[in-house]
Structure 1
Amino acid sequence: MKKRCILTGIAAIAVLACTVKIIFFSQAKVEENAPEYVFYYADNQTEDYPTTLGDQKFADLVYERTDGRIKILVKCDSQLGSEEEVIEQLKYGGIAFARVSNTQLAEKVPELSVLNLPYLYNDSNHMWRVLDGKIGDEYLSKVQKYDLIGLSWYDAGARSFYSTEKAIKTVEDCQGMNIRVQKSAMMSDMVSALGANPVEIDYSNVYSALEKGTVDGAENNWPSYEAKSHYKLAKYFTVDEHMRIPEMQICSKVVWNRLDQNDRDIIKACAIESATYERTLWNQRENEAKLTAVKNGTQVISLSPEEKQRFRDAMLGVYEKYCGNYMDEVTRIIECE
């Protein structure tokens, strides 16, 4: 896959050197009504997942409001690579748009880690007060350091633990378990702080890892747990809601710089509108996913306030390691009204 990404980038650069009219994407008009630009949009989720449907809404809005001049082709289910690979292709213009987890972006832009801290938000309303306001706009702009343009925030719900052989009811239950995490240092350290062993595995390979016993559990939101049928193997879902990690719609800066201001304004407005649409779908999908899982035998474990505080207390070292230099920001987010 990495070889394919490198070849894609090399091919794109070669095309740019040959002509000004083609910039990592198709701009040649083969007929009078053909789009001026054709872009790829990457998502790692399934076709019917809320984020993918939000992506398609964005593509449809852009096509409509540019009178067909800009056509965006949404490629889901990791067709264009893992999130890590997609971010690299975006940096060099091999892909124009994507929806990616803030976890992956924080690996490139460390300041974004503040938004990923365990137990940072009281609830979803608190998170959206932060992201839909001045603070959220500031964090969207931070990805420009990595040659990306932040467009809007998508909902990804709250992440919780699920396991195969035993339910996680206390911090002690985590001891010695192998827990799948995204490729993220903070995620790994969070799991380690609970006494478990983090195992970094791409989302598309989690089902196989659960099936083979490579991991004893994983952590994710309800729709992700249900969409890839993880509930068939991991029957215990512990609602600890340790993280509410937002997801960002992003654009390649290479592509952005080739668009005029009018097209940029249209794309930005469509991204914000599609985000509102995605959040509505997310709430619906979250309820549906939970219902499907429970009907198929998932046991839901709710932690007592006292036990949840013990999980929270175990994260103090994670706060110090990743946000020791950003504690003013942490306070600003916690106190956001």
Structure 2
Amino acid sequence: MYSGRVTLSHDKNISTLRISDLRESDSAQYKFSFTTNQPGGKYTGSPGVNLTVTDLQVKVSRNDHGVELSCQSRCLIEKNPSYIWYKSGNQMTGGGFSRFEDNNYDNSYSCAFTRYEDHHSPLICLPGSKYCNRVNYIKRRICSPKGSSVNISCIYATNKNPESKLWFSRDRSHQWKNPSQPEDLSKDSQYSGRVQVLETTGGRSTLRISDLRERDSSEYHFKFTTQGFEWRSVLPGITVTVTALQVEVTRIISVHQFDTEAELKCLSSCSPADHVSYVWFKNKQEISKQQLSTVAVNFSPGDIVSCALRGHEDHQSPSLSSKASFCISDSFC
């Protein structure tokens, strides 16, 4: 549930738990516990810290003048927050208010706290307008290991049949002749042969990038055009971070005169997808058939070990050498 999203730091008597990519399911009471070497020496702080995670929502109500939209959240970041409103993906002028009135059924609406624009609410249509212009991204931040594949998805809607649809990378737009008209990634040589766009019913579009490279780290956007309309949103897209694998020594199992047995873990700053299989190499030869992220290896002087994802063996981690990793006995140092 928290894999890849939790870090712990300790400074003297202060312990800090950091949770990234917060989800509403993270709402809970958190407690700190520690154990001493004394009998019954386990202690837990009480009552703990209550964390509530909530998304901003645009609520719609009717009044004597028509339709009123309000930006609501169970949490307030400050006493009198300032708001930003977006109409069909573009920022409205004269912001700061938490509510306003509008009756345009072609537009979609979203809101955010000022200075927290990356965490805007989902875009909604006014009641009775099922097909207003909007793009909602399924997951706004994705972290994937180098060499793997990633699916970047959105749900879009429009009141007319789209004349064109494309995915683009904002970081690449400066390389095109007309930055205001970004090019389809399928036409970008950097992604040649590695990009596939999957369209399903219900207005869902998925950009699949395979054989990920660290330079693929970018913010990706979906765009469509219809007769007389072009989706030109200033809202954040989907941020993809690609990281390389690393081998880390997690435990020394046993030390002998001429070798040492150690537990190694293949990891990255990303939380890998379910059912990922790993390949382990010792002196460039595959050594484990378990395909797990953790392995026990006997090191002799001069040995090197690396790991990779199954099916992406060309993207091995940097090699871990016995001498560079630990000096345990005279045979290693």
> How does the TM-score come out when normalised to structure 1?
0.22
Structure possessing the higher radius of gyration over alpha carbons: 2
- Higher relative contact order, chain-length normalized (CA < 8 Å, sep 6+): 1
Richer in strand (by share): 2
> How does the TM-score come out when normalised to structure 2?
0.22
